[in-house]
Structure 1
Amino acid sequence: MHVRDLIEESVAGMLARPVRSALTTLGTVLGITTLVVTLGVAATAGNQIVGRFDELVATAITVGVPESPNAPLVEWDAIDRLTRLRGVESAAAVSESKDGANVSVRSNDLVDPTRVTAQSLTVLAATTGLPEAARGRMVRGRFYDLGHVRRHDRVAVIGEQAAELLGVTRLDRAPAIFIGEHAYTVIGILGDLRRERDLSSAVLVPPTVGRQFGLRDVTRVLVNTSLGAAGLIARQAPTALSPGNGDMLQVVAPPSPTRARDQAEDDVNALFLILGLVSLVVGAVGIANVTLVTVMERVPEIGLRRSLGAARRHIAAQFLLESTLIGLTGGVIGAALGVVTVVAVSAAKQWTPLLDLRLAVAAPVAGAVVGLLAGLYPALRAARMEPVEALR
């Protein structure tokens, strides 16, 4: 039997029952479509993570400054050098100490034994760029500036939660709070914090004032960068803050958006790839069943071919080619439907579709392989039939 005759017989056998062949092909179509859609949508969605990655997480850097027995590792004016780096949008230095934690703060100078007028709050010293660095805003009033810092003014900015605890609701009359025995004028209330939410219950004072609470040295630096610049700034920030001692600083940088994209793509692939494989298995079982039924229906034909001189390999090749053609047809249709689905989903979501050409080429091949494997047992069973028994 020539190859051309073999192909013609296989195509004729497949088209002899078009409805059955179409239903058999449907299983492979669903499996291949699922695989193509899974890999295509996963790659497309993963690529969007870079653009839609949470900017708060992807651009926030924290530099921890350990205590130094000698000179401080980071000076307060080092923030000026840091903000000159390209990619830094905002930065602020913060000082916190044990002496500044759980400090008694009250909003009036009256001592009433029957009422709790004092609150235990945390007192922090920070540079003037703290509202931007903490991704917050001044709910009322203003933040202290360089003039307050240089004049050593006794001013304070309190968090929104601290203001509620102290009963400070208006600033037009320059209310004062008492930290220990000294009064500080409240000039602003900081709120809507998207970063460092613990500042909502803290009292913030200029660095020159915070020394009496042990807030002399910078303990951490908050940095916000442009999207995509976090990795570079994380490497440059220690040198800018403390030349010569940068290796002693502890930088906490956000994970790479590319890594997050790859992880999301892997998770989606792992989830839906199983569904695609299950669909392929169902399609393979369907092809095997239909091919086996076809073999049983065509027993007289097999006996006639064998009696006319067809070898076992010719019979096996004929049925194998039929099942392979069914799988190949399902693979082609499934690949086409998968590509169209990926493009349609991307258009609906306004994404840029990512289609791997190798996937579109490999999908029909995968369908043909599934058909080939599914037809092995029926083909071997057809090849083992004896001519006399088949004709009988």
Structure 2
Amino acid sequence: MRTRPLRAVLSALGIAIGIAAMVSVLAIPESSAKALREQLAALGTNLLRAEPGQTFFGEDAVLPDTAVPMAERIGPVLGAAATGNTGKTVRRTDKVAESETSGLSVQAANPDLLGLLGGTLKAGEFLGAANADYPVVVLGSVAATRLGIDRIDAQQRPQVWIGDRWFTVIGILDPMPLAAEIERAVLVGWTAAQRHLGFDGRPSTVYARAEESRLDSVRQVLAATLNPAHPDEVKVSRPSDAIEAQRLTENTYSALFLGLGGVALLVGGVGVANTMVISVLERRREIGLRRALGATRRQVRGQFLTESMLLSALGGASGVLLGVLATAGYSLSQDWPAVLPVPALVGGVGVAAVVGAVAGAYPAMRAARLPPTVALA
């Protein structure tokens, strides 16, 4: 290994890439899962969302305008708020075609919505009693990006065109994982939406927070409470379940990448085996000389097997280091806590050593079987 360092490095590189991939694939989902658990703990998993489904005839159902106060009458419910689709589009200026919606919706919102969803403001203020009647809006994080508004100047607030008039932007929201639809929405006060946009006052989504221990009970009665006449036309979901389902999908992709890491490790093992076979061919005279001086087959076999395992262990240690750096770097970029599973770190070197033993078994046995007279010929 010392006399041919470049060959040793290149042989270990395949092992290093495979181990680095496997460590990263195991560690990054762990970091993501921990960040998700911390995020859900901060936002709360006791949020329910109710939306209108379809009628018996396949038409879009509607929620009654009394849905929010009816939800608040449920004993374990701690609070409720709603948004309502105004059917209007938002544009940066009145010169933009009305068909250019940028995938954004204009929603009427209750003043309690931000606190109920556990959201925070990036800039400005939220809708409240003082501005409920005025043409002002609050932008979700995605809506602000698509409209090109990233800050609010108190001296000259930005404006957007909704319907047939200008609305002043008074706030921008931070991302809201439990209500991704709010991120792509432009929020208008409930009264202002009725006055300036012709909103009918019917909510399109009702959010309710309930006591954690009685969440399932509230979920069972929420549809019937919001729409007693047609409870089957109300869809009730738990936003945190959707986030966890998305994480399950990501874990499926992690398993795929873990398999690719295994393939890279296999290729690395083949590279080590190839290197050792060539080494045996190049060192025939050395093997013959050692055998002639009294070295046993076991000693020759152990020599080449040890070299193969050292090459793989070098690749394994380098791969673990690369995996740790990749995990730490990616977690830092995503603002996640870096989680490094100890079994993955220890197992990386162990798996590399096993690969080295398997890869070096045939070359070592071939060297041990080489007769001294043939080797010295």
2:250 matched to which residue of 1? Answer: 264
Pairing partner for 1:382 from 342, 347, 367: 367
Give the whole-Å Cα distance in 2 for the aligned partners of 1:228 and 1:294: 69
- Report deviation, 1:221: 6.6
- Report deviation, 1:92: 7.3
Pairing partner for 2:348 from 343, 360, 363: 363
How many residues are treated as equivalent by the alignment? 281
Where do 1:234-313 residues align within 5 Å? 234-238=219-223, 240-241=225-226, 248=232, 250-253=234-237, 254=239, 255-271=241-257, 273-274=259-260, 276-308=261-293, 310-313=295-298
Give the whole-Å Cα distance in 2 for the aligned partners of 1:86 and 1:378: 71
Normalising by structure 1, we get a TM-score of 0.55
2:15–2:315 contact (8 Å) kept in structure 1 = yes
1:109 matched to which residue of 2? Answer: none
Corresponding position: 1:20 with 2:1: no
1:82–1:237 contact (8 Å) kept in structure 2 = yes
C-alpha change, 1:65 and 1:346, in structure 2 (3 Å) is closer
Query: Aligned with 1:34: secondary structure?
Result: helix
Give the whole-Å Cα distance in 2 for the aligned partners of 1:321 and 1:235: 65
1:62 matched to which residue of 2? Answer: 51
Larger C-alpha radius of gyration, 1 or 2? Answer: 1
Where do 1:162-241 residues align within 5 Å? 164=164, 192=186, 204-205=199-200, 222-225=205-208, 232=216, 234-238=219-223, 240-241=225-226
2:138 matched to which residue of 1? Answer: none
Give the whole-Å Cα distance in 1 for the aligned partners of 2:48 and 2:337: 24
Show structure 1 runs of 5+ residues with no match: 1-13, 68-73, 95-128, 144-159, 171-190, 207-217
Q: Percent identity, aligned pairs only?
A: 28
C-alpha change, 1:203 and 1:371, in structure 2 (3 Å) is same
Pairing partner for 2:23 from 6, 13, 36: 36
- Report deviation, 1:389: 0.9
C-alpha change, 1:59 and 1:228, in structure 2 (3 Å) is farther
- Report deviation, 1:358: 0.9
- Report deviation, 1:244: 12
Pairing partner for 2:71 from 75, 82, 96: 82
Show structure 2 runs of 5+ residues with no match: 57-62, 86-106, 115-125, 136-160, 168-184
Give the whole-Å Cα distance in 2 for the aligned partners of 1:19 and 1:64: 66
- Report deviation, 1:282: 3.7
1:36–1:338 contact (8 Å) kept in structure 2 = yes
Letter in 2 for 1:286: G
Query: Aligned with 2:338: secondary structure?
Result: coil
2:96 matched to which residue of 1? Answer: none
C-alpha change, 1:273 and 1:28, in structure 2 (3 Å) is same
Give the whole-Å Cα distance in 2 for the aligned partners of 1:224 and 1:75: 14
- Report deviation, 1:75: 7.8
C-alpha change, 1:92 and 1:141, in structure 2 (3 Å) is closer
Give the whole-Å Cα distance in 1 for the aligned partners of 2:54 and 2:344: 50
C-alpha change, 1:227 and 1:378, in structure 2 (3 Å) is farther
Give the whole-Å Cα distance in 2 for the aligned partners of 1:340 and 1:60: 40
1:178 matched to which residue of 2? Answer: none
- Report deviation, 1:335: 0.9
Give the whole-Å Cα distance in 1 for the aligned partners of 2:316 and 2:376: 36
When the two chains are superposed, the root-mean-square deviation of aligned CA atoms in Å is 4.7
Query: Aligned with 2:109: secondary structure?
Result: helix
| Residues 360-369 or 37-46, more deviating | 37-46
C-alpha change, 1:325 and 1:236, in structure 2 (3 Å) is farther
For 1:13-34, what per-residue CA distance to the aligned partner results, in whole angstroms no more than 9, with x for missing partners? x445444323322332222122
